[in-house]
Structure 1
Amino acid sequence: MTATTSTLHPLDPLTAAEIDRVRTVLTEAGRCGESTRYASVLPLEPPKAEVRAHRPGQPCTRRAQAVLLDVRTGGCAEATIDLIAGTLLSHRELDVEHRPYGQPAVLIEEYDRCADLVKADPRWQQAMARRGITDTTHAFVAPLAPGFFDRPDERGRRLLRGLTFLREHTEDSPWAHPVEGLLATVDLIAGEVIELDDAGEVPVPYRHGNFDPASVGPARTSLKPLEISQPEGPSFRVRGSEVEWESWRLRVGFNPREGLTLHQVSFTEDGEPRPVLYRASIAEMVVPYGDPAPWRRWISYFDAGEYLLGKNANSLKLGCDCLGVIHYLDAVVAGDHGEPVVIPQAICLHEEDHGILWKHTNVLTGAVETRRSRRLVISFFTTIGNYDYGFYWYFYLDGRIELEVKATGVVFCGAAHPGTESPYATEIAPGLMAPVHQHLFCARLDMEVAGQRNSVEEIDVLGVPVGPDNPYGNAFTTRTTPLRRESEAARPADPAAGRVWRVFSPDSRGELGRPRGYQLVPRPGPTLLARPEAAVHQRATFATRHLWVTRYSEDERFPAGDYPNQHAGGAGLPAWTAADRDLTGTDLVLWHVFGPTHVPRPEDWPVMPVDTCGFTLKPVGFCDRNPALDLPAPGCHPSAKEDS
């Protein structure tokens, strides 16, 4: 087997042939057998200098990292493969039996294994019978990442915890029928339930939570058709993984852990392309729950590091997930056995009208100039258990970049006696309690603003004290604080001060002589609300600040460390920033934490309307003037009609 090199770019996603080659190399090297599973196969990007020097058609470095699990012994290893030479570059055993522990991500096959082990356990069967549940044919045991609590009986073991839900039939939504007070802890390697907690006499909520057409009833007929037409096709061009649209040029990547990734993003003004981002992704997200009940106090899912956002990506459908003239890209990931798995239409590219971009009416002459905005949308959706997440990168004609995350799906629930009041949960249907929780995303933004050397500063707005310079008290101004070292750059947002963070180039200046820059404009919510004594606080320290800035290092990829599953904590950002590296005029990475704190509502049931969060990157002195001045004036479409 040979890998194709002539048509590949160093940053292209792994191909099916390359994933096959990973398995072949490891097999021939005697590093995998029948009990070997592939927790992940990730591309390893070449050094930046090599990527920048690459030209189309040239050979390029192609490497992959495979994380292996022996499901018979529990042994874990990390291997690096040269995909061009077909050789094993390195192989090291992972120490999962000693502090700080850590385990590879959950396998797809372990979902069923966990459920089967729980349902076969006599204690679980007795617990169900005690509740009067004798038909468990359609019972569903949710396989849930266990967290880490340093219990002697759990150290070094590969675990999942299982909460039980009922279904009346195969298509019934299980999330509406939680079996409260029943929790199983499963050792996946030993193949046994090592602990089963059974307490409480709470009845299982009876009302169904189905929302398919047959359950909801006839659909409304009042909405008239809304059609999007681009008779001449879209304005963007796609060649392999490279995308060009108006002034933007970038590459699209995908891997099983982060899902969609963006690379070498540049914006052109007056014929000069300037870099903005070297790489952007959602590197981690944590979902901590705020319910102290024994059945939920341990819940804190790391949906990228424990479950793999990309491996659980959806195949998107025209007319449902995407409207307009769509260009889809397939994704390829490795299955549990190392086989390539194609996810058709995993990434969606399209254009959207976005209202007014700029407008002015001359009050002296009555002349009106209006230009409409549109944006390029690059998106994917993933389903992790009960929740669905859409990640939408927007590129605008005026140089802005926006990330919007859309959270939807089904809220995770427990049960209580109908009418129960709780400070930690909302009753959203009779006896159905939805706990408070957070969705905290961490974007990794490898900046390259107008050059490879960048600096960063924090900008607040504030009022000026009354005095000789402000005798009437009306003045306000900005305060700029350089963030010179990593110890200074773990920062909270401050909406009252309009706080933004500006990344700028000391080597590139605009027409007015000032450094070209981009601002990170947050849409902040609460950071991690768990107390410092909580286990999740140690494991998700990255989520305790809205911003971290680090000096670029090739092996610093994930803010909670490489193996957050069952990890004791302290890895990732807190460990890296302890070095307190200099951040002035160097290669910088911004890590931005954002996301909703969800206090559920009855309106979130049985399926949650989209809840959005995100941030904006805005040019500040990057361009010499409004870069969208040359847009054509809008014309009237022949089919346009005014509503009379």
Structure 2
Amino acid sequence: MTATPTRSAVTAPLTAHPLSLLTAEEVSTNREVVDAAGLLGPDTRFVYVGLLEAPKAELLAHADGDPFRRSVASILVDRASGTATSVVVDVTAGAVESTREIDALAEGQGPILDEEFEDIEQILLASEEWIAAMERRGIDPAMVRAVPLSAGNFGDPAEEGRRMCRVLAFLQLDEADLPWAHPIDGVCAYVDLTERTVFAVADNAMMDVPMERGEWNAEPHGAPTRTDLKPIEITQPEGPSFTVTDNLIEWANWRFRFTFDVREGLVLHQLGWKDEAAPGGVRPIVNRASIPEMVVPYGDPAPSRYWINYFDQGEYVFGRYTNSLELGCDCLGEITYIDAVIADERGEPRTLTNAICLHEEDYGVLWKHTDLFNGMAETRRQRRLVISFFLTIGNYDYGFYWYLYLDGTIELEAKATGIVFTSAYTGPDGFATEMAPGLGAPFHQHLFSARLDMAVDGHTNAVDEVDAVRVPVSDLNPHGNAFRQQHTRLRTELEARRQADNLASRTWLVTNPERSNRLGQPVGYALHPEGQPTLLADPSSVIARRGAFGTHHLWVSAHDDSHRWPAGEIVNQSPGTDGLERYVEQDRDIDGADIVLWHTFGLTHFPRPEDWPVMPVDYTGFKLKPVGFFDRNPALDVPAGTTPHCRGRK
């Protein structure tokens, strides 16, 4: 339903720009307006609060000094009933714009609250069935650490419409012990989060609990901390090369804004290359870039584990677990830290201190040549601007790093580390790696979805799939050595559901048919995928429906302001009827249109013993590289090095 706008006497102070970071005053105003509208009760909690960006057309038309309004979107969960409500508040006017009750059967449940997770162990201790399951194993229930996880939606009538989670158990021997080393496998509790009761215990197998401690530091493993690594100091005596004004960043030829959304994480806006000849002095490349969803599907079909598929953003709102970064640990050099404001579950502002790290770093050789004929002997060094954040969600830690390079390259790198989710090891024919005696780590994937609202020299873009192909032996190619690029235009949304192909060196080239470089070629940027596996679950599986975005490396959709979430707006216990498959079902024309690229990338993780007890960082991501966007190498203006160790420099 849509509410009649409700006005409050409270309004938030105006920010500098429609895309400025969400402020504490706006979060407070949002809560006060929602309360004044009668939407808060004693059991109401805020599970999501974020800036609802103005429509794209308004943002593109905005000029400095123009008036603008700001809106905040919230999802409320009533703990007493389980009901979730979507609310939009105009914090500039102090008015409720709309309210909508979320249909639990048709859409799913609101995201999971921390407060609900905090109750789980006490709920289990009140369950006779759970206590009996632990006693059958000779385990003191008080020593059990409960790990509540999103339940998914498997069409079970007993679960229909029920706000719930599933709970696995781990033994903790003492306060210093890592419980991940001691999974109590073969048993799973089903918890009703509204009734706060265990409504079923699936006790399928009695398995030995691995008992070797999971020590994260070196000494217990006979390897004292090494002392032969000398310090590395990174300094910029004249300070950094970038400037930050409000949330506008300028560095080298790059110019962009950034925001932080508690569900979506770090978002880049209006990313462009400075050029005095361009309108406004900037050539646009990407209007908006973010990673709005990820899913971690597990490949263990055991009765107590088949359902494990985390959507860390849609189900858990993972940005609230963002780490406060520290110099010398997460970032090195001349660092600028930026706080982010989110809301706690009571709707009050909470500041994430040092949530975002901004710095520049050397990245080796940019270009180099020593010429045989003219005596040229030149080297230029590459550097990149880095804007990043890191978070911890359960056992895993994720870092998201956007890199901008001097040659016009854009890169996103996701880093996965932390502790692998463990199980009992059932043997080499199972679906896990043995990490320690009797300890398994199930096979799984980490699949991310990037949403790239492209704007290559404007908002009329087209996409070609570009493959390297052999040329058959013929009169044209008598020696069989020829190969060339094959361009295939993707003309409609359904046609643009594509898979990567590393054997063909496949890329996807986004061009502007209305803009050409000095050679008469359409200006463009190419998406370079890593080409790792997409979703490995069977196409008939529940996760292939709920996480359909993960079934293709590339999707292309006509731009729509409301199409923001690749697995749908509501993900927790969703039936899988929203998201990218619905966005493209109209099969709209995308050839010379305002388009959005959705790119699936990620890791397929067959854990190694070396990933235990703490996993070294694994990396995944993608690159966007200019193809004819510039008339020549855009990094010709980079100066030669001036440090003493560069030859000929003093």
TM-score (normalizing by structure 1): 0.96
Counterpart position of 2:97: 89
How far off its partner does 1:11 sit? 1.2
**Residues 292, 565 of structure 2: 8 Å contact kept:** yes
User: Where does the alignment leave 5 or more consecutive residues of structure 1 unmatched?
Assistant: none
Counterpart position of 1:265: 271
Pick one of 18, 25, 28 that aligns with 1:17: 25
CA 30–603 in structure 1, closer or farther in 2 if over 3 Å, else same: same
Counterpart position of 2:292: 283
Aligned ranges for residues 43-192 of structure 1 at < 5 Å?
43-96=51-104, 98=105, 100-134=106-140, 136-192=141-197
How far off its partner does 1:128 sit? 1.3
Counterpart position of 2:7: none
**Residues 502, 519 of structure 1: 8 Å contact kept:** yes
Give the Cα separation in 1 of the matches to 2:604 and 2:122.
34
Pick one of 599, 603, 621 that aligns with 1:596: 603
TM-superposition CA deviations, 1:119-176 (whole Å, max 9, x none): 3212211211211112x43421001001110100100010111100011122321111
Give the Cα separation in 2 of the matches to 1:376 and 1:9.
23
How far off its partner does 1:270 sit? 6.2
Give the Cα separation in 1 of the matches to 2:455 and 2:137.
60
**Match for 2:367: what amino acid?**
W
Give the Cα separation in 1 of the matches to 2:169 and 2:188.
7
Counterpart position of 1:38: 46
Counterpart position of 2:4: none
Counterpart position of 1:617: 624
SS of the counterpart of 2:613? coil
**Residues 290, 435 of structure 1: 8 Å contact kept:** yes
1:350 aligns with 2:359: yes
Pick one of 246, 253, 258 that aligns with 2:252: 246
CA 60–362 in structure 1, closer or farther in 2 if over 3 Å, else same: same
Give the Cα separation in 1 of the matches to 2:13 and 2:251.
28
SS of the counterpart of 1:311? helix
**Residues 180, 416 of structure 1: 8 Å contact kept:** no
1:545 aligns with 2:559: no
Counterpart position of 2:342: 333
Give the Cα separation in 2 of the matches to 1:559 and 1:322.
30
Counterpart position of 1:485: 492
**Residues 376, 396 of structure 1: 8 Å contact kept:** yes
SS of the counterpart of 1:516? strand
Give the Cα separation in 1 of the matches to 2:217 and 2:110.
36
Aligned ranges for residues 359-508 of structure 1 at < 5 Å?
359-416=368-425, 420-508=427-515
SS of the counterpart of 1:488? coil
How far off its partner does 1:57 sit? 4.2
Give the Cα separation in 2 of the matches to 1:468 and 1:61.
66
Give the Cα separation in 2 of the matches to 1:364 and 1:517.
34
Give the Cα separation in 1 of the matches to 2:470 and 2:539.
34
How far off its partner does 1:208 sit? 1.2
SS of the counterpart of 1:103? coil
Pick one of 290, 298, 311 that aligns with 1:302: 311
SS of the counterpart of 2:28? helix
TM-superposition CA deviations, 1:396-452 (whole Å, max 9, x none): 0000000111100100011136xx323411101000011100000000000011001
> Which region of structure 1 is more displaced relative to structure 2, 111-120 or 473-482?
111-120
**Match for 1:265: what amino acid?**
L
How far off its partner does 1:93 sit? 1.1
**Residues 219, 225 of structure 2: 8 Å contact kept:** no
How far off its partner does 1:576 sit? 1.4
SS of the counterpart of 1:616? strand
TM-superposition CA deviations, 1:317-351 (whole Å, max 9, x none): 11111100100111111111111111100100001
**Residues 558, 596 of structure 2: 8 Å contact kept:** yes
1:219 aligns with 2:219: no
How far off its partner does 1:201 sit? 2.5
1:292 aligns with 2:301: yes
How far off its partner does 1:213 sit? 6.4
**Match for 1:128: what amino acid?**
M
User: Where does the alignment leave 5 or more consecutive residues of structure 2 unmatched?
Assistant: 1-9
How far off its partner does 1:214 sit? 6.6
**Residues 386, 403 of structure 2: 8 Å contact kept:** yes
How far off its partner does 1:114 sit? 2.2
Alpha carbon RMSD of aligned pairs, Å? 1.6
Give the Cα separation in 1 of the matches to 2:299 and 2:487.
36
> Which region of structure 1 is more displaced relative to structure 2, 137-146 or 614-623?
137-146
**Match for 2:247: what amino acid?**
S
**Match for 1:487: what amino acid?**
L
Counterpart position of 2:242: 236
SS of the counterpart of 2:122? helix
SS of the counterpart of 1:24? helix
**Match for 2:96: what amino acid?**
L
> Which region of structure 1 is more displaced relative to structure 2, 503-512 or 491-500?
503-512
1:572 aligns with 2:574: no
Give the fraction of aligned pairs with identical amino acids, expressed as a percent. 52
TM-superposition CA deviations, 1:279-308 (whole Å, max 9, x none): 010011010000100111000000110111
**Residues 269, 623 of structure 1: 8 Å contact kept:** no
**Residues 101, 567 of structure 1: 8 Å contact kept:** yes
1:313 aligns with 2:322: yes
Give the Cα separation in 2 of the matches to 1:416 and 1:491.
37
Give the Cα separation in 2 of the matches to 1:42 and 1:584.
33
**Match for 1:320: what amino acid?**
C
How far off its partner does 1:28 sit? 0.4
How far off its partner does 1:220 sit? 0.3
Give the Cα separation in 1 of the matches to 2:326 and 2:161.
42
How far off its partner does 1:637 sit? 3.3
1:581 aligns with 2:581: no
Give the Cα separation in 1 of the matches to 2:118 and 2:552.
37
TM-superposition CA deviations, 1:349-373 (whole Å, max 9, x none): 0011000000000112443110000
SS of the counterpart of 2:249? strand
